[in-house]
Amino acid sequence: MNAPAGQNPEILAARADFPLLARPMHGRPLAFLDSAASAQKPHVVLDSLRDFYESEYANVHRGVYLLSAQATDRYEAARETVRRFLNASRPEEIVFTRGATEAINLVAESLGRSGRFQPDDEIVLTVLEHHSNIVPWQLMRDATGMRIRAAAADAAGNVDADAVFREVSDRTRLIAFSHVSNTTGTILPAREICHRARERGILTLVDGCQAVPHAAVDVQDLACDFYTFSGHKLYGPSGIGALYGRHDLLASLPPWQGGGSMIEEVTFERTTYAPPPARYEAGTPNIAGAVGLAAAIDYVLRFGSEAIRRHEDAVLKYGVDRLDSLDEVRLIGTPDERAGSISFVVDGVHPHDVGTVLDTEGVAVRVGHHCAQPAMRHFDVPATIRASLGIYTHVADFDALADGLGKVRELFRP
C-alpha cells in the first residue's frame, strides 16, 4: 500500500527520540504495537529522571534547606504542567497518583465515604470499560448499597450519549466512562455526555488513559468533574499519573488515605485535613515520576496534541485498511471515530498463538481480554489481538504486522 497522506515529517522523525525502538527483536527490527498497554520513553524523559536524581533530589514539602525547596518547586512545576495540559482552572485541581487506577480508586473511596450517596442510588458505566473503571465502583457499591448499570455499545463498538442516558434515571449520581476505549479505540462523545450529566446534576468521571496520548483534552470544555490519566501511556515513567477534580469537590470530599503531608493538625482525638491537593497525597509522593511526567508532557506539546492527532489518524487509518484487506482477519469494533487501538481476531487461530508467531517476527502486540472482559462478551470473543500506536509508530510497523499475519496463515494453514 502507498504511504498515506497527512503524515507529519517532524513527527515521523520522533522515532529516533526513543532509544528502545532501536533494539532488534528476535533478530528483526522491532515493530512495537503495544503502546496502549504502555508507551516507550523518549531521551528527554530518561534524561529528566537522571538529572533530577543527580542534582536536585530531596523530599518535598518538608526540608528548610535549599535542596528540598528546589525539589518542591520542581514537583509543583510538574503539577502546573499537568494543569496546563488538561486546561484545569487551578493547580490545586491536579492530584498526583500512581496512575489512573489509583485515581479512580481514590474518587470511589472518597465519594463512597462522603455520605453523598444513598442505597439505591445508581452509577452508570459503559460496556467498554477497562476493569479499572469497573471494579473500584463495585467496591464502592458494596460499601454503599448503590447499583451499577452499564450502557450498551452497538455492534460496531460505538457508545453514543443516548445509549448512556438510556441507563440514566432519577437515581443516577455518577457516570464514569472511558474517553477512548482501550479495546476498540472508540472515541466516546465525552463532551456531550458530561454536559448532559451536568445539566441533571450528575457527577462525571472520565478515564482519559487512551485519550491524552492521541488528542488535546480540555477539562473545562468537557465539563467533567473528574478526569484521569496514567503517565506511562503518555511516554512518561510508570508509577505516576494524575487526577483532575473540580476544586469544590476536592475541597469537600474526605481523604482516602491517611499519612504525612495530608494533614493540618493531628491529635489522638482528631485530625484536620489539608486542603487539596495535599489532602489526597498522603506520604512521600513519586517525586521524580512527576518530574518525568512533566518532561513527557513538554515533549508531546512540542509537537502539539492537534498535530499528533492528525498524524496518528493517517497512520491508524493505514493500519485499519491494511488489516481489513486481509481475508482471514476480522476487525473487532469498527467505531465511527477511533484513536490509538485496533482489535482483531484471525479466523481459526487463537489470539495467543497469533501473538507468539508475531513475537518471533519482531512484532509486539497485546493478546487477551485487555482487562475488558465485559467488552469481550459484548463482541462474543474470548480474546482479541490488539495493535495500538504511539507517536513513534510508522506505517512500516503495520506492514510488519501484516507480514507476520502471513506467517500465521502459513503455519496454521489446515
Partner 1 sequence: MNDLRDLYQEVILDHSRNPRNAGRLADPSGTAKGHNPLCGDLITLDVRVEDGTIRDVSFDAKGCAISVATASIMSGMLKGKSLAEVHDLFQRFQDMLTGPTTAAEGLDKLEVLAGVREFPMRVKCATLPFHTLRAALDNESGTVQTE
Query: In the bound complex, what is the minimum distance in angstroms from residue 411's beta carbon to partner 1?
Result: 6
Query: In the bound complex, what is the minimum distance in angstroms from residue 377's beta carbon to partner 1?
Result: 11
349 binds partner 1 (CB under 8 A): yes
> 277: cis peptide before it, omega within 30°?
yes
| Among the listed residues 39, 157, 55, 109, the one whose alpha carbon sits nearest the alpha carbon of residue 254 | 109
| Residue in the structure block whose three cell numbers are 476505549 | 181
Angstrom distances, CA of residue 389 to CA of 4, 36, 246, 326, 399: 15, 7, 31, 19, 13
Instruction: Give me 225's grid cell.
Output: 468533574
Rounded Cα gap, residues 112 and 173, in angstroms = 12
Of 63 and 368, nearer to partner 1 (C-beta) is 368
Angle between helix 43-55 and 287-303 (nearest 10): 140
CB-based contact 303:213 (threshold 8 Å): no
Eight-class DSSP state of 15: G
CB-based contact 19:43 (threshold 8 Å): yes
357 binds partner 1 (CB under 8 A): yes
Mask: binding to partner 1, 284-313, rule CB under 8 A, as x and -? ------------------------------
Of 119 and 414, nearer to partner 1 (C-beta) is 414
Rounded Cα gap, residues 30 and 164, in angstroms = 40
- Checking DSSP bridges between strand 94-97 and strand 122-126, what pairing results, if any? unpaired
Of 86 and 383, nearer to partner 1 (C-beta) is 383
Of 304 and 368, nearer to partner 1 (C-beta) is 368
Of 189 and 355, nearer to partner 1 (C-beta) is 355
Of 110 and 384, nearer to partner 1 (C-beta) is 384
Q: Is 371 a catalytic residue?
A: yes
Neighbour-count burial of 296, counting CB atoms closer than 10 A to its CB (0-12 exposed, 13-18 middle, 19+ buried) = buried
89, 114, 252, 356: residue in contact with partner 1 (rule CB under 8 A) = 356
377 binds partner 1 (CB under 8 A): no
118 binds partner 1 (CB under 8 A): no
360 binds partner 1 (CB under 8 A): yes
List binders of partner 1 among 378-407 (CB under 8 A).
Answer: 382-383, 407
Query: In the bound complex, what is the minimum distance in angstroms from residue 352's beta carbon to partner 1?
Result: 4
Which region, judged by CB under 8 A, interacts with partner 1, from 134-142, 161-169, 175-183, 348-356? 348-356
- Contacts with partner 1: how many residues (CB under 8 A)? 19
Mask: binding to partner 1, 120-139, rule CB under 8 A, as x and -? --------------------
Neighbour-count burial of 119, counting CB atoms closer than 10 A to its CB (0-12 exposed, 13-18 middle, 19+ buried) = exposed
| Among the listed residues 155, 186, 151, the one whose alpha carbon sits nearest the alpha carbon of residue 166 | 151
Count of C-beta atoms within a 10 Å radius of residue 54: 8
Query: In the bound complex, what is the minimum distance in angstroms from residue 228's beta carbon to partner 1?
Result: 25
368 binds partner 1 (CB under 8 A): yes
Give the residue numbers marked as catalytic: 371
Q: Which residues bind partner 1 (CB under 8 A)?
A: 349-353, 355-357, 360, 367-369, 376, 382-383, 407, 411-412, 414
